[in-house]
Chain A
Amino acid sequence: MVIGLTGFLFTAVFSCRQVGKPAATEIKTDLPDYFPSLPIPGDNPLTSGKIALGKKLFFDPVLSRHRDLSCASCHLPHLAFTDGQVKSINVGGVPTLRNSPSLFNVAYHPYYFMDGGNPTLESQLISPIENPLEMDLPFPEAIARVAADPEYIRLFKEVFEAKVSAYTLSRAIAAYERSLLSYSSSFDRFYYQGDDEAISADAKAGYKLFSSEKLACNSCHKGVLFTDFKFRHNGLKEDYSKDPGRGRITLKKEDEGKFKTPSLRNVALTAPFMHDGSLKNLEEVIRHYAAGGKQHFNKDSLIMGFEITEKEQRQLIAFLNSLTDTNSYKLHQ
């Protein structure tokens, strides 16, 4: 009964803040039992209409200064919502600061951007839209453009019973991004669903290596999401003056060169790697960690280097390939 009452309170309280009423019924996220339940903020329940509206906006170049880039320009569904570039190219043809991150399972991130500079999925989208190195459009102008489109006016009214605003626009796109879930890889079928035939013998051996004391990749890429979401320095560079990572946000020397541990789900689709896209493929990534990284006062103590044979490297890559979820990206094309 107490649980029921708490549920009532929760629903009632956020009905005070919610804009209008969602036209469609809230979506029930039917996730497999090995996957964490989806965190959904009280003021932004997931509805099919809202997700569809968010998807339309996500793929619409109206949100960039010259109407030539959409969110999807740098987050392509078939590349697990990355873009295959070292760094994305912005409206003026200038590279962005960092490599495009995957958007799969972003709902679970405790903070956004590689340096954690933004707290919520709803608020972070103002950054790529306004950033001169990305879509370069003042947010009020983005809202004005969308609000001038009769089709969007109709859809916002249908979904929110409200007009286009900073609030509703951000909720719609965040709802779509929150729906980008990936949990159906071959490895999931093997490890969580007991299908012994789902991955190869090499991939199984690779997983053992991944979790071994020698490599200990799972010290950081841990759990079902293959990340601990911590800010870590992986020894990629000696000089971080161009991009101090977490240090840019906290201004602390001890955070210089630290970046949020990325998830390894779909990692085989997301090359090139690292925050600056400087490593071309998984072989280069493994060589980097095997060598122990470059010296830096903040380098994580877990980056110590290791010996790995060519066969083991092949096995490790077979395992990483097994984390690719081809079902999820097809859903979003």
Chain B
Amino acid sequence: MQIFKSLLFLSAASLVLASCNKDDNDNNNDDNNDLKASVKIELSHNFEGESFELDKYYTLGNGSKVKFTTAQFYLSNVAFMDDADNRTKLEPQFTFVESTTSEIDLGEVDAGHMHMLMLNLGVDEKTNTTVLPTDFEDLNAPLAPKTNSMHWSWNSGYIFYKFEGDVDTDGDGTDDDSFKYHIGLNDNLITKSKMAHTDLEAGKSTDIMVKVDYAKIFSGLDLSTELITMTMNNPELATKIKTNFEAAVEIETHDHN
């Protein structure tokens, strides 16, 4: 019985130690850097090819002008698969992307073949239902509360992508309306994948180009009526924004010697 108790205690202590040291184990880097390839995401923000910035007017095909005052989203869970479908997850798991975010360093991975690349726009279901903004000590953490908040004040869960701005419907220089698209809920998580067929060569860097064309967010929208969705109050419009944002984001890969 005494042995049983001791074993129980040791198991318990191991569990505790394991849970405390999990992060250390996850970050246990291979010292052999010769076999490593570095990976980063380069973000390009544009509006139909024109450089994108907040508070600048852009003209849509119908002559209306739009100006973004907010354009931000979560880019998360970047991973790639090799030809044998082995998945490699890259860190950081979450990045809070604003219109000025140009690069995300994904660190080093084992050199090898990248068959397919995957990433999410938004926050995965498990995180969205278990992690809360008030869980963070560091306000710079991607999922910590933001001044331009990425969570709702009246509901739990994160806003995955958020676009706000003004519309000058007739292009006469006077704003006629405002748009607010706050999209969240698990059904609106966007999963993008790209057949990469790229070799991650040891000692070299591979850039994943993520291009966002903000003009596409308005594809097929009637900007006289389809102006506001907080997701729950207008799920139909939220679905349209999801479809449009998915199309607005394109992924490419480039190798650098």
Contact = CB atoms under 8 A, between A and B. Distances in A.
24 contacts: A5-B9, A19-B137, A113-B154, A117-B152, A117-B155, A123-B132, A123-B156, A127-B153, A127-B154, A130-B145, A130-B149, A131-B154, A138-B145, A143-B139, A143-B145, A162-B137, A165-B139, A166-B135, A166-B136, A166-B137, A167-B137, A248-B155, A249-B232, A251-B232
B133 interface: yes
A38 B175 CA distance: 54
B25 interface: no
A251 B155 CA distance: 12
The prevalent SS among residues of A at the interface is: helix
Nearest to B20: A16
A125 interface: yes
B147 A166 contact: no
A16 B13 CA distance: 12
The listed residue with most B CB atoms (<10 A of its CB), out of A118, A139, A141, is A139
Contacts of B26: none
B39 interface: no
B137 A165 contact: yes
Interface stretch (A7-15, A21-29, A175-183, A221-229): A7-15
B16 A122 contact: no
A126 B139 contact: no
Interface size class for chain B?
20 to 34
Contact of B137 (A5, A113, A168, A251): A168
B156 to A, nearest CB: 5
Given A138-B145, A139-B145, A251 B235 contact: yes
B232 A138 contact: no
Given A1-B5, A8-B12, A123 B155 contact: no
Interface in B141-172: 144-149, 151-156
Given A126-B145, A166-B139, A251-B232, A139 B12 contact: no
Interface string A102-143: 000000000001000111101101111011100000111101
Nearest to A167: B137
A156 to B, nearest CB: 11
A178 to B, nearest CB: 14
B62 to A, nearest CB: 31
A139 B133 contact: yes
Contacts of A141: 147
Contacts of A1: 5
A170 interface: yes
A248 B20 CA distance: 39
A9 B12 contact: yes
Given A123-B156, A140-B139, A5 B12 contact: yes
Contacts of A248: 154-155, 232-233
